[in-house]
Amino acid sequence: MTAIGIDAGSTTTKIVVVDPDARIRWHRLEPTEPLLEEQTDRLLEAARAEAGDGTAPVIATGYGRNLVRAADRKVPEITCHA
């Protein structure tokens, strides 16, 4: 299963698509915009198009993780570091 991870940070927003073998298939890094909800929606749309899988689970972390509307799971940064 392909998965999408997004780190909605206070200064940059990062997104990555990984395949079932944990290989990175697509990624993008952008400065975080004031309207983070719209930015993450746009990035997720691009990621899903690249992944070719509209059902890939989305995991969000970072300062703005609670603003990622499409996230299936929201994980605090401390948990991700562990």
Cα–Cα distance, 52 to 46 (Å, whole number):
10
pLDDT reading at 23 higher than 70: yes
**Contact between residue 68 and residue 41 where contact means Cβ atoms under 8 Å apart:** no
What tens digit of pLDDT does each residue of 34-53 get?
999 999 999 999 998 887 76
Phi and psi at 15, nearest 5°, equal: -140, 145
Cα–Cα distance, 75 to 71 (Å, whole number):
10
Cα–Cα distance, 23 to 33 (Å, whole number):
28
Give the pLDDT of residue 42.
96
Give the pLDDT of residue 5.
95
pLDDT reading at 26 higher than 70: yes
Cα–Cα distance, 33 to 11 (Å, whole number):
8
